[in-house]
Amino acid sequence: MRHTTLLFMSLVTGGMMGCKKPRESAAPVVENSKVAEQVPEQEQVHIHGGHEHHHHGFDDPTKFENQWNAPERDRWQHPEEIIAALALSPGATVADIGAGTGYMVAHLSKAVGDRGTVIAIDAAPAMITYLTNRSADLGPAKIVPQQVSGESPELPDDRVDGAITVNTWHHINERETYAKKVYSGLKRGGKFVVVDSEVDAESGPPKAMRLEAGRVMQDLEAGGFRVVIAHESMPQHYMIVGHKD
Ligand SMILES: C[S@@+](CC[C@H](N)C(=O)[O-])C[C@H]1O[C@@H](n2cnc3c(N)ncnc32)[C@H](O)[C@@H]1O
């Protein structure tokens, strides 16, 4: 069996690109912030007989925290747009799938407030330890770090009011099946928001791993969602919203 190991250092970034994206509305576009911040993402891809298995180098959060949690990231990741797409009420329960070092967990925590809950889901044990140790710094909500296998968010049925996955959907192997599991975990009326890199972004995950927005829409549709591509002004990312009507 052919067994090739490749090591990629990849970048998830905002920048100055003028990506052409279809929009669900013609709302005014906020001017792009013209910053080229970089978020490194290290991963190893093992190729076994033509099948790729992604073994992520996410075992040391200290390698990522400074960039992933940098306050300047707000200037290109536009977390307020991601939060707005979820339309959460105070006291809501929300899941962040691939929570990493908690950048979006902190924003979600603020949105749901001290009566709310953020389930911070990650497949990497080191990220869960990091999130557990940091939970007091992640805002007013109850923070519930949850380690999962890579195949499922492991949410009980009808558990959450909303879910997000930011810069992580391209890591999921069986995405249509995974989308069904997220759908089951959402309460009716809940939304699943997927933010990931444009295929032609200046930097981001290895090009071979990037997903067209249309492909992500198909994944979510196959999972049962009504899907729209959201209006946003992130320079190098798209945002897909799946509705559980
Ligand atoms: C590029 S990082 C993004 C972290 C965070 N969402 C952010 O934007 O700052 C991807 C994260 O997803 C996690 N991850 C990768 N594959 C996963 C899977 N199948 N299920 C859950 N988490 C996963 C990794 O451990 C890592 O923490």
Tell me how far the alpha carbon of residue 159 is from its chain's centroid. Answer: 19
85 in Cβ contact with 43 (< 8 Å):
no
Residue 56: predicted pLDDT: 57
How many other CB atoms are found less than 10 A from the CB of residue 78? 22
Beta bridge partners of 3: 48
CA–CA distances in Å: residue 118 to residues 65, 71, 82, 121, 138: 19, 20, 15, 9, 10
Residue 57: predicted pLDDT: 86
Architecture per CATH, 41-243: 3-Layer(aba) Sandwich (3.40)
Residue 51: predicted pLDDT: 33
Residue 23: predicted pLDDT: 42
Site to probe by mutation for ligand 1, drawn from 76, 103, 128, 171 as the one with most ligand atoms within 8 Å of Cβ, is: 171
Contact residues of ligand 1, CB 6 A cut-off? 12, 41, 56, 58, 68, 97-100, 103-104, 121-124, 127, 148, 150, 166-168, 171-172
Instruction: State the Cα–Cα distance between residues 97 and 27, nearest whole angstrom.
Output: 28
pLDDT by residue, tens only, the chain of 245 residues: 333 322 222 333 333 233 334 443 323 222 233 233 334 443 433 333 333 434 458 999 999 999 999 999 999 999 999 999 999 999 999 999 999 999 999 999 999 999 999 999 999 999 999 999 999 999 999 999 999 999 999 999 999 999 999 999 999 999 999 999 999 999 999 999 999 999 999 978 999 999 999 999 999 999 999 999 999 999 999 999 999 99
Residue 3: predicted pLDDT: 34
Instruction: State the Cα–Cα distance between residues 228 and 220, nearest whole angstrom.
Output: 10
Site to probe by mutation for ligand 1, drawn from 54, 104, 168 as the one with most ligand atoms within 8 Å of Cβ, is: 168
How many other CB atoms are found less than 10 A from the CB of residue 50? 7
- Residue 158 one-letter amino acid: D
- Element (DSSP H or E) covering residue 225: none
Helix (H/G/I), strand (E/B), else coil: 35: coil
Domain locations in the chain as residue ranges:
41-243
Q: Which residue has the tokens 């509705």?
A: 243
